[in-house]
A and B are shown apart, each in its own frame.
Chain A
Amino acid sequence: MSQPALLGRGLKVRGRVRGENDLRVEGTVEGDVVVTGSLDLGAEGNVTGGISAASATVAGRLEGDIDAQGPVAITASGSVVGDVRATEVSLEEGGILRGRIDADFELPEALR
């Protein structure tokens, strides 16, 4: 069995990260992160660059845009400076978002 991909604490990447699987980031990435699975940015994680993923959970710090095919969750410890594009965006109390949210959703009948 292959181990899940994890960029751990103390790791620093300056460059591009691509993946066909899920990825958890607890270290620092200066560059774009593109995964076809879910991206989990841990509380200690720090990304400066754009993120593209099927879905994303941000508990760390992100300076850059998120482009997700599915949902994006920013938790209480998360901080995003950039635009978020996703099917659903959730922002927990305490979480920080400075940017635009672009979520495609169907308005309920009464609001159309």
Chain B
Amino acid sequence: MAATVIGQGITIEGEVTSEDEVVVSGVLRGTLNVEGPVTVESDGVVEADIGAHTVAIGGAVTGNVTASERVDLLAGGRLVGDVKAARLTIADGASFKGNVDMDV
């Protein structure tokens, strides 16, 4: 089980930092910085800039996403913001508006 689960019905407004995995099924507004993976589940809503090792987006994210390893935009996922990562996948059925910087 993930170290932190921002579950359904939970709303956090502010600055969130974590040394461990974070899973968002609820709502997060502010900033999110994680030394580990971040997963935004299909019912998760993030209105925040995200910095993490890896970011998997199955829900709705508004904000810039920076990952030291990879970003995966999953089917059904929705991202409005810029992505900076070494690796990026965008699944069929995902929506994305923003710029990509793959640091080449």
Contacts and interface: CB of A to CB of B under 8 A. Distances in A.
A23 interface: yes
B53 to A, nearest CB: 14
Interface string B13-52: 1111111101101100010000000000001000000000
Contacts of A17: 10-12
Nearest to A22: B7
A30 to B, nearest CB: 8
Give chain B's interface secondary structure class: strand
A2 B30 CA distance: 23
Contact of A7 (B4, B8, B11): B4
A108 interface: no
A94 interface: no
A14 B13 CA distance: 8
A99 interface: no
Contacts of A6: 1-5, 7
Given A3-B1, A3-B23, A12 B9 contact: no
Interface in A1-59: 2-21, 23, 27, 31, 35
B8 A2 contact: yes
A27 B4 contact: yes
A15 B7 contact: no
B30 A15 contact: yes
